[in-house]
Amino acid sequence: MEAASCSSSRYSYEEYKETAEWLRDHTEQRPRVAIICGSGLGSLADLLQNKTVFHYKDIPHFPISTVPGHAGQLVFGSLQGCDCVCMQGRFHFYEGYDIQTVTFPVRVFHLLGVDTLIVTNACGGLNSTYSVGDIMLIKDHINMPGFAGQNPLCGPNDKRFGERFPCMSDAYDRELMALAKQTAAEQGCDSFLQEGVYCMVVGPSFETIAECRALRTLGADTVGMSTVPEVVVARHCGLRVLGLSLVTNIAVTDYDSHEKANHEEVLKTTQYRAQDLERLVTHIIAKI
């Protein structure tokens, strides 16, 4: 049996640059902060002022999001006086995209001058102390696809983006985490703010009971199907990263349970907690 292989990037530096230059030519905003919205969390982009909106299909080389709850558009604007760009919809392995496509926007953001990436996602809670509606500050992650050879940095390294062997022990910026905790306390969100480890699996099937138990044994507090590849590429490019996970369902770990995870539940939970997450992100950006 052949070992899993890492193919070289399907995108050239010139293609990333072409996308960045096209966006720069079509908007006056020069974002410092990029926000990637998870399932049902695209309303974060609605907070931006002086907006310029681009549908993914109209942007050169940009993939197209196909998942319910992901609008599929890039929104430029200002938030609390800070120029931002917001992805309403990200890309996933389970849509059939390869890892270079999943992470394509992050390198474009880097070329646009972004220095801070805020990633959000909807996730399943593995930690027994977590409740539906909790917001987890990501302090670390477990890259399950990476264990299987699916790391976005595989293949020839382009030094114009970053070094060959980037450190990942500081993947999530500690200063931004401290800022988020301080802001949560000020905004009355600290009662449902957690801090823990996010584990990425590929999906689209939700995890089995045995898989949930195994991930919890590995030290994961939440599990989801996104985020980690984008964070790896962001750190490779030197971006600071803040990660926020919204717990939309509790993972089933009991064989006697009749609970079943489903995407409709995920979207329903984001609706009632979205305003709190919006308030938190808005005030964090004001301090950045």
Helix (H) or strand (E) holding 272: helix 263-287
Q: Which of 15, 261, 263, 278 is catalytic?
A: 263
5 is annotated as an active-site residue:
no
Q: Which of 9, 11, 20, 39 is catalytic?
A: 39
92 is annotated as an active-site residue:
yes
Q: Which of 95, 195, 265, 278 is catalytic?
A: 95
In the block, tokens 């500690």 appear at 174
94 is annotated as an active-site residue:
yes
Give the angle 83-84-85 at the CA atoms, nearest 5°. 140
Q: Which of 16, 87, 92, 141 is catalytic?
A: 92
Q: Which of 225, 234, 251, 274 is catalytic?
A: 225
Q: Which of 45, 87, 122, 220 is catalytic?
A: 122
Q: Identify whether the C-beta of residue 60 lies closer than 8 Å to the C-beta of residue 90.
A: no
Q: Which of 18, 43, 61, 94 is catalytic?
A: 94
Q: Which of 20, 249, 251, 283 is catalytic?
A: 249
1 is annotated as an active-site residue:
no
How far is the CA of 148 from the CAs of 49, 154, 186, 232, in angstroms?
42, 12, 41, 15
70 is annotated as an active-site residue:
yes
Distance CA 124, CA 253 (A): 11
- The partner residues of 79 in beta bridges, in order of sequence, read 82
226 is annotated as an active-site residue:
yes
136 is annotated as an active-site residue:
no
How far is the CA of 128 from the CAs of 132, 135, 139, 166, 222, in angstroms?
11, 14, 18, 33, 10
Q: Which of 226, 230, 245, 283 is catalytic?
A: 226
95 is annotated as an active-site residue:
yes
195 is annotated as an active-site residue:
no
Q: Identify whether the C-beta of residue 88 lies closer than 8 Å to the C-beta of residue 45.
A: yes
Catalytic annotation, residues: 39, 70, 92, 94-95, 122, 225-226, 249, 263
